[in-house]
Amino acid sequence: MSTSHTDHCRENCLGFKNNHGGCCTIDNRDYIIGPIHDNIAFLERVRSKYPGVKLEWKDLFLDFEEGSKLFPDRPMYQNPSAYPALRPDINHRRLPCIFYNNTLKCCSVYDIRPDTCKRFFCPYLASLNEYGIKE
């Protein structure tokens, strides 16, 4: 990704001005960050990154039972195949992934992020040409 795309994403994620972390934020959308197929390996990578912190699976992920109850009005959360999902920060109004740093506007575990996050490519960004102009 070029520098202009990085800057564009940081401030205009998903093509919305002044939006950051849209791909890492549930907000008011029917959107889930899952399934995380490499959840056990990711948990181990996080434990290695933060060795002094005791982390359990449930600290990082939602399972179907919890997620479907947490968001009963969102169809994505009622789909068992969307799990396990990354846990959102339910204390933040935008419901970002617990690893998204809202102050720095970036992922705190980007270097070890799960495969689902590595494979995600924003459809809006895909619609931009090499100069960052929507085609």
Q: Is residue 135 part of a domain?
A: no
Q: Which domain holds residue 72?
A: 3-126
Q: Give the three-state DSSP class for 132.
A: coil
Q: Is residue 44 part of a domain?
A: yes
Number of domains in the chain: 1
Cross-strand bridge partners of residue 90 = none
**By the 8 A CB rule, do 25 and 97 touch?**
yes
**pLDDT at position 2 over 80:** no
Nearest Cα neighbor of 88 from 66, 121, 111, 112 is 66
Q: Is residue 65 part of a domain?
A: yes
What is the reported pLDDT for 112? 97
Q: Is residue 132 part of a domain?
A: no
Tell me the pLDDT of the chain averaged across its residues: 86
Q: Is residue 93 part of a domain?
A: yes
Alpha helices for 13-60 (secondary structure H): 39-49, 57-60
Q: pLDDT tens digits for 65-102? A: 999 999 999 999 999 999 999 999 999 999 999 999 98
Q: pLDDT tens digits for 14-52? A: 666 666 667 788 988 899 999 999 999 999 999 999 999
Q: Is residue 103 part of a domain?
A: yes
Give the H/E segment covering residue 6: helix 3-12
Q: Is residue 60 part of a domain?
A: yes
pTM for this predicted structure: 0.81
**By the 8 A CB rule, do 105 and 115 touch?**
no
Q: What whole-number distance in Å separates Cα of residue 69 and Cα of residue 116?
A: 23
Q: pLDDT tens digits for 57-67? A: 999 999 999 99
Maximum Cα–Cα distance across the chain: 48
Q: Is residue 57 part of a domain?
A: yes
Strand blocks (E) in 24-130:
61-62, 85-86, 100-101, 106-107
